[in-house]
Structure 1
Amino acid sequence: MATIKDISKLSGVSPSAVSRILNHDSSLSVSNETKIKVLAAAEELEYVTIKERKRNSVKEKRLTIAIVEWYSESALIEDPYYLYLEKMVEKKLAQEDIDTFKIVNIDGTYTSAVNAQVDGLIAIGRFSPSQVTQLTSFSPYIVFLDSSPDPSLYDSLLINTEQGITLAMKHLFELGHTKIGFVCGHVIDDNGGEGFDLRKKAYYAFMKENNLFSPSLIFEGDRLSYEQGRILTKRILDEKERPTALVVANDTMATGVLSLLQESGLSVPSDMSLVGFNDLPSVKFLDPPLTSVQIPMQLLAMTAVDLLRQRITGDYPVPLKIFLPTMLKVRKSTAIPHK
């Protein structure tokens, strides 16, 4: 393997200057001719810098990446979105021949049943500052999915939820709906506390921009769950002037809304149009199949794994915060308003 001394001997440039040229030291004042001599000698001798050697050794090594679960089993029952996302990440890791195991929260402490060295973490969900500190004890390399607790330190992947709600609102508006309700629940912010839902923000913006906003059109519960969807639908049905369409903050809640509407003798979409959010695999099998904002879960998983691998190998100098777009999957739960 070629050394700095070998390049110095071949190029006729001092070893210290060779080292600084190869490490792109901008404070070094040498002629372009000298730089060319050094770089040509390095290429001829097939010299590899220490940084590149380290990067190549990491690339050749079989990686071990842990998946961190923020959510509880009861939360997954209420909303399986994170479960589907985790399965996508596991599938991508398997395709890349990367070893993996789970880190779970037991009584406030993150732990793993596997006693193994981990190269990096993919943390799915929303974590408090103290939880993030715990995670760094496993590895400094963390990619967060669905939150960005500190964009100056950690890579993060988020969904453009505002764009998704705007797509849903435009779809209903173009069908002729003006009395559009919004069904939602309390949400957790990027640091694990109670936050303001960006979906609600997008709903506000669209309705106000089109002079359609009324506080009576917002139906907010405690959680984003099937049961809360049913409870809030009872309130909707008690309204003297009901909305002609509903945008619901997630598919699980929308399924609860749909079930109570149908039990009450209303037809979707003839009596009320309905749009969900997340486009879970199950919603296309509902009757009617649910129009829903689609989250690119496969792309999320693929990007998370690729980003973490590049972070571990040192390919990116600064953390990245990436927003992925959404699409609207139009099915049979939306139609022109009933006259």
Structure 2
Amino acid sequence: MTMAVTLKDIAQRADVSLATVSRVLNYDKTLSVSEQTRKRVFTIAGELRYSKRKRQHIKALMRKNIAVIQWYSKIQEHDDLYYLAIRKGIEHQAQVCGFTTTSIFQNNLDQVGDDIDAIVAVGKFSPVQVQQLSRLSSQLVFVDDDHFAQGFSSVVTDFTFATNRVVDYFWRRGIRDIGMIYGKEWSTDQQVEIPNQRQQSFEQALQRHHAYHAEYVLAGDYTSQSGYLMMKRAIEMLGDRLPHAFFIANDPMAAGALKALQQADIAVPQRVKLFSFNNTTLAEYVYPEISSVNVETELMGKTAIDLLVSRFQDDRQAAQRIELGTTLVERESTK
């Protein structure tokens, strides 16, 4: 018996995503791909004898309702553009695939309707919350939280390599005293303190250089005000021993830290250099502009939807863990 050809078969042969194959075969004129790619998809579909009736079936299959569960509140999301960008990536790719999305904030699971076909969970979740989510839908993908070991598909960012690159960036420039300001967080049910991979990687990287100093590391809560207060504390506590460079865990905290340095008449980047994480638009809206690790936040959201498309094609598919790389964006705060 001949196995039915799927979009996945075509995508693998054409070396493109499932979403691209679906949009090409459905003559989506808004899709931005080369004519060569379009021809390759149609050619492979013909070679595999992928029928129009099958395409119509897949298109109908793609009419799904997706709950996007954000662990942040609306206010928190707008204060930290990192999670907003992830959600925008999810919603854009869902629209491309013909999905309907419902945004639910602050992990309010009571708002999850009975008509939901899948869940994309954005943020950090305790083991209890993970089990609650899995009972609401068997089609579950986590973004920015790694639950692959528990059998759930996860889309995450490479924190370790990115942090090592920042430390190496300063080290190559002869800076040996490097501090860090990071945030502490808890799951919304207050059951689990979220491990900070950036802080852990930073400590390990500097220990390899025998240059880690605990007094150079301060913990806040990821807000701009917290970054301001932590840098102000470092200035008062360390005086002339203030590190010549700081790695800061997100852009809002970096903006707050910059403000504290400027108020103390400490020149950036001449006396203290700052390197942030996330590379949201905020990093460019301050003076001097802040160097930052660029995280592909929108791609994280899009990838989560692509994983769901794949799972809808094959209910037996195993969980997948996708880790996206980062790049360093150098700006005036480190030059």
The answer on whether the counterparts of 2:87 and 2:298 sit within 8 Å (CA) in structure 1 is: no
SS at match of 2:110: strand
Q: Equivalent residues in 2 for 1:43-54 (5 A)?
A: none
Distance 2:276 2:3 in 1: 55
> Equivalents in 2 of 1:299, 1:150: separation in Å?
19
Q: Which amino acid aligns with 1:287?
A: Y
Separation (CA, whole Å) in 2 of partners of 1:333 and 1:144 = 34
- Match for 2:143 among 142, 145, 153? 145
Q: Which amino acid aligns with 2:200?
A: K
SS at match of 1:110: helix
Structure 1 residues 63 and 22, CA gap change in structure 2 (3 angstroms): closer
Distance in 2, matches of 1:92 and 1:22, equals: 29
Match of 2:289 in 1: 289
- 1:63 and 1:298 map into 2 onto residues whose CA distance is 21
One-letter code aligned to 2:213: S
Match of 2:84 in 1: 83
> What SS does structure 2 have at the residue aligned with 1:151?
helix
Larger radius of gyration: 1
Q: How does 1:242-253 map to 2 (within 5 A)?
A: 242-253=242-253
- 5+ unaligned residues in a row in structure 2: which ranges? 5-48
Distance in 2 (CA, whole Å) between partners of 1:190 and 1:180 is 32
| Structure 1 residue matching 2:234: 3-state secondary structure | helix
Contact 1:151/1:319, CA 8 A, preserved across alignment: no
**Match of 1:63?**
64
Work out which of the residue numbers 159, 165, 168 in structure 2 matches 1:167.
165
Q: Residue 180 in 1 paired to residue 170 in 2?
A: no
Distance 1:303 1:190, change over 3 A: farther
The structure 1 residue matched to 2:228, chosen from 227, 230, 233, is 230
SS at match of 2:149: coil
- In structure 2, the CA distance between the partners of 1:268 and 1:201, relative to structure 1 (3 Å rule), is same
SS in 2 for 1:170: helix
**Match for 1:67: what amino acid?**
V
- For 2:262 and 2:88, locate their aligned partners in 1 and report how far apart those are by CA, in whole Å: 32
2:43 is aligned to: none
* Cα distance in 2 between the residues matched to 1:160 and 1:142: 21
- Who is 1:260 aligned against? 260
Counterpart amino acid of residue 207 in structure 1? L
Q: Conserved in 1, the CA contact under 8 Å of 2:86 and 2:299?
A: no
* TM-score (normalizing by structure 2): 0.77
Q: SS at the partner of 2:68?
A: strand
How many aligned residue pairs are there?
286
TM-score scaled by structure 1?
0.76
Shift of 1:316: 6.1
Alignment RMSD: 2.9
**Residue range with higher mean Cα deviation, 272-281 or 58-67:** 58-67
> Is the contact made by 1:181 and 1:218 (CA closer than 8 Å) also made in structure 2?
yes
Q: 1:120 to 1:59 in 2, by over 3 A?
A: farther
Counterpart of 1:234, as a letter, is K
Aligned residue type for 2:252: T
Q: For residues 308 and 282 of structure 1, what CA distance do their matches in structure 2 show?
A: 31
